[in-house]
């Protein structure tokens, strides 16, 4: 009869565990609805291919730039910090995988107790043991396990894994930004080198005009005012050179720091005229960007973790089933401590603990977790919205800069011919020196502006590549 009752109790207990196990708390993650356009703004037709799928070495073909990027990926401190954070999250995720396993501890103790001869323990020891002290030796293996009846541990594992994946995507996000920043800095150097070249050529032209005005003044045809105006124009052009050299030195330092190096000079083998943008800057579909951009994926992983933590907070309000067991060897004499089976002992217990007095605090924690999840939803949507806007901005820049580049190139051609004609007319005494100075000043400004527009085109292409999620492959 007793064995039958024990069997019935065991069956009931097993059924309760199965029922509890089916009672999972928290909802499984589902991506929230996102408002995405069918295609990006300034794109005439939808194309499934994207430049973001291109390896950065294929997108940036300049050898010097590739070397700088490789150096940055190996030594940039921001990237190295992000990698260390990822390693921490990976270790925490590995630790979370062990949460469903029981805790097992081995404990070995030896105890010596010398009670008072007049105490109950002292009198008992003399009466029963025939000695004035008590010894006890114990070796036990103890096991404790919390049954995951509400799915709390599973949710904890989900949260830990999501945090790891978030840190993994954060590393990729830092890498894409780093690659873009190095490319932008490199293009700035190419621009400044080209502007220095243009300025030095124009300075030589100014020098020639100063010489011409002096010859005319000495011949009694020109005036000292013409010479002074020509010198002032020459000085204006000369002033640009140290300004550009200063900008270049600062850009060099910034680029060296990006690559994890001390500030210093950089020698470039290429020129701005050598660099060519990829002809086909396809964007792909907006919905593909969500799964391609690392910062968007990192934001979604933060949402996945927040969703899992809601389940953890909810599970904390429900009863916890704990099972403990232990066994080992125990004796009050060291001589027969390991006398098996007489020294063997064992114990087992199960308990269900229901929070009572701190239930309000647990409810608050669950409500906070729910609000944090809603916050993560908003942040995810904001990240997607910002990413879509960045792509649109880059496309608009490319479209408008192409128009600007054509107009600026035509303007440079016009002003170059104007300078040539003004100099001929001046030598023929058919134009005054002011017309020549005006033409010279206009052409250098137009040439420098054309170089700036060209640099902006290159930068917009880099920004489009980054905003689509390119740079981590």
pLDDT at 77 over 60: yes
Determine the average pLDDT of the residues in 447-452.
96
Look at residue 128 and tell me whether its pLDDT is greater than 50: yes
Q: Which domains does the chain carry?
A: 20-100+148-319+361-467 (1.20.1600.10), 103-147+320-353 (2.20.200.10)
The Cα-based distances of 186 to 62, 167, 183, 275, 447 in angstroms read 10, 28, 5, 11, 20
**Tens-place pLDDT, residues 356-369:** 878 888 889 989 99
3-state secondary structure of 326: strand
pLDDT of residue 20 exceeding 60: no
Whole-prediction pTM: 0.84
pLDDT in tens, 302-316: 999 999 999 999 888
Average of per-residue pLDDT across 172-198: 96
Higher pLDDT, 172 or 356: 172
Report pLDDT for 89.
92
Arithmetic mean of pLDDT, 430-434: 78
- Distance between CA atoms of residues 447 and 415, nearest Å: 9
State the DSSP string of 23-41: ---SPPP-PPP----SS-T
The mean pLDDT value of the chain amounts to: 85
How far is CA 157 from each of CA 18, 90, 362, 380, 413, rounded to the nearest angstrom? 21, 12, 20, 21, 66
Q: 139 falls in which pLDDT band (50, 70, 90)?
A: confident
pLDDT of residue 327: 80
424-449: average pLDDT: 85
- Is pLDDT of 429 > 50? yes
Residue 118, pLDDT score: 67
């Amino acid at each position: 009869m007793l064995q039958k009752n024990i069997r019935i109790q065991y069956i009931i207990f097993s059924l309760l565990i199965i029922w509890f196990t089916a009672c999972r708390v928290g909802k499984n993650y589902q991506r929230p609805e996102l408002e995405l356009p069918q295609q990006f703004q300034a794109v005439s037709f939808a194309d499934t291919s994207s430049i973001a799928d291109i390896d950065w070495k294929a997108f940036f073909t300049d050898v010097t730039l590739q070397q700088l990027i490789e150096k940055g990926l190996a030594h940039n401190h921001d990237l190295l910090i992000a990698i260390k954070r990822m390693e921490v999250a990976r270790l925490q995720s590995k630790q979370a995988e062990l949460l469903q396993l029981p805790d097992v501890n081995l404990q070995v103790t030896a105890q010596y107790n010398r009670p008072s001869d007049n105490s109950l323990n002292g009198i008992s020891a003399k009466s029963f043991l025939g000695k004035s002290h008590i010894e006890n030796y114990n070796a036990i293996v103890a096991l404790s396990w919390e049954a995951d009846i509400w799915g709390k541990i599973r949710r904890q594992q989900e949260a830990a894994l999501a945090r790891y994946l978030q840190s993994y995507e954060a590393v990729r996000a830092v890498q894409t930004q780093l690659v873009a920043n190095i490319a932008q800095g490199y293009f700035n150097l190419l621009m400044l080198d080209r502007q220095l070249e243009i300025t030095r050529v124009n300075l030589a032209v100014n020098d020639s005009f100063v010489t011409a005005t002096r010859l005319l003044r000495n011949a009694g045809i020109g005036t000292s005012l013409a010479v002074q105006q020509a010198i002032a124009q020459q000085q204006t052009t000369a002033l640009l050179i140290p300004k550009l050299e200063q900008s270049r030195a600062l850009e060099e330092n910034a680029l060296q720091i990006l690559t994890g190096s001390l500030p210093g000079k950089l020698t470039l083998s290429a020129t701005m005229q050598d660099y060519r943008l990829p002809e086909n800057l396809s964007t792909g579909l907006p919905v593909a960007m969500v799964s391609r951009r690392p910062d968007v994926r990192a934001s979604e992983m933060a949402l996945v973790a927040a969703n899992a933590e809601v389940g953890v907070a909810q599970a904390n309000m429900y009863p916890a089933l704990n099972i403990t067991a232990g066994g080992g060897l125990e004796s009050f004499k060291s001589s027969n401590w390991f006398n098996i089976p007489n020294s063997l002992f064992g114990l087992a217990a199960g308990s269900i603990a229901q929070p009572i007095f701190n239930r309000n605090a647990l409810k608050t924690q669950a409500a906070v977790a729910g609000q944090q999840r809603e916050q993560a939803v908003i942040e995810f949507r904001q990240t997607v919205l910002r990413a879509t806007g960045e792509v649109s901005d880059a496309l608009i820049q490319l479209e408008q800069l192409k128009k600007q580049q054509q107009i600026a190139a035509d303007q440079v051609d016009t002003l170059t011919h104007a300078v040539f004609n003004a100099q001929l007319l001046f030598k023929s005494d058919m134009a005054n020196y002011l017309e020549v100075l005006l033409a010279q000043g206009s052409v250098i400004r137009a040439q420098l502006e054309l170089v700036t527009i060209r640099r902006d085109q290159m930068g917009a292409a880099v920004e489009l590549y980054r905003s689509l999620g390119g740079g981590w492959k």
